[in-house]
Amino acid sequence: MTTFFKVCDWSRRWQGVVDMMGWAAKIMKERPQSEVESWALLLWALWNERNAQLFNKKKWSESKIVTCAQALLEEY
């Protein structure tokens, strides 16, 4: 099975990374903690928006997704 990480030009720059877990591990190892936290909360907000679309037929704007992630980061 070919994954996104094996065929995407952007992700191929991250040599040795072939899946989401490898990508996350590399980010956590190489980036400052504040960036890792922002990245994690943005991914959570994207997942939450995906669920809102799928289960509630609600679509969030991109700015709402970012605002949600920023609010969570400030709370955290």
pTM strictly above 0.75: no
Write down the pLDDT at residue 1.
42
Domain check: are 69 and 42 in the same one?
Answer: yes
Domain check: are 5 and 17 in the same one?
Answer: yes
Domain check: are 8 and 26 in the same one?
Answer: yes
Question: HSE-up of 52 (CA within 13 Å, CB side)?
Answer: 12
Domain check: are 49 and 17 in the same one?
Answer: no
Domain check: are 21 and 42 in the same one?
Answer: no
Domain check: are 25 and 13 in the same one?
Answer: yes
Write down the pLDDT at residue 63.
87
Report the mean per-residue pLDDT for the chain: 80
Q: Domain of 52?
A: 32-76
pLDDT, tens only, 42-76: 888 888 888 988 898 888 888 888 888 888 888 87
Domain check: are 26 and 37 in the same one?
Answer: no
